[in-house]
Amino acid sequence: MIDIAGLTKTYMDGDQKITAVDNVTLSVAQGEFVSIIGHSGSGKTTLLSLAGGLTKPDSGRVVIDQTDIWSLPDDALSEFRNKNVNFIFQFASLVPTLTVFENVMLPSAFGSCCEGLDEYAKSLIEMVGLADKMKSYPSRLSGGQQRRVAIARAFVNSPKVILADEPTGDLDEATEAEILDIFRKKNADGVTFLIVTHNQSLASAARKRYAMTGGILKEL
């Protein structure tokens, strides 16, 4: 499903050249749940962004569902993301002027909308336990609730791949467990997960685990 080969990304910090991702090769099969653990600054978020087509690598390639994503023109890459990949970031990043329901529906604004999507969005909101908050604005929600809305949003375009960056960061244990439960359900439905975290309990939920240090990836 995801084939990463020889992926390298460097950036300049003043005069110093930093290698954020160093010749990483990784293969994730369809329906797999993979976690990458590492400290802050180890390059795991950069790797996730390279894998999701958010930043261009210096070298190497990323193939998702048989598409070499970095060979696509920018518009085609955007379209590919809209249809196949979605992200969960460490921050909820909801649009403050949209309701919970509208925030969940947001990906539909950037691509073709399918029949019955609003019903599906509602079911996702119910799934994350916010059925009574459909019309609420983000400012009325707690941090945990906002995170759950972001998770519901990540699934609305029925992506084949979820790339999650610290999806349970700053959340209490109960909420973390609920979110993990949602991930398991979706994983059981066939969604491929690639999660980067420094949270051991979240990482251990994955069937395949990697560690990242100084931009280098190693399987655990």
List residues near other proteins by CB under 8 A. Answer: 46, 49, 52, 54-56, 74-75, 78-79, 81-83, 86-87, 89, 91, 93, 95-98, 101-102, 105-111, 113, 118, 153, 157
| Shortest Cβ 207–other proteins spacing (Å) | 26
| Shortest Cβ 110–other proteins spacing (Å) | 4
Residue with Cβ nearer other proteins (16 or 174): 16
| Shortest Cβ 92–other proteins spacing (Å) | 10
Q: Which of 206, 118, 104, 86 is nearest to 147 (CA)?
A: 104
| Shortest Cβ 115–other proteins spacing (Å) | 11
- Strand bridging mode 33-37 / 208-213: parallel
Residue with Cβ nearer other proteins (107 or 215): 107
Residue with Cβ nearer other proteins (109 or 177): 109
Residue with Cβ nearer other proteins (23 or 78): 78
| Shortest Cβ 23–other proteins spacing (Å) | 19
To which residue do tokens 């958010």 refer? 54
User: What is d(CA 75, CA 18) in angstroms, rounded to the nearest whole number?
Assistant: 29
Question: How many beta carbons lie within 10 A of that of residue 108, not counting itself?
Answer: 17
For 162, the token pair is 């979820």
Residue with Cβ nearer other proteins (111 or 143): 111
Q: In what order do the strands lie in the sheet with 85-88?
A: 85-88, 161-165, 192-197, 33-37, 208-213, 216-219
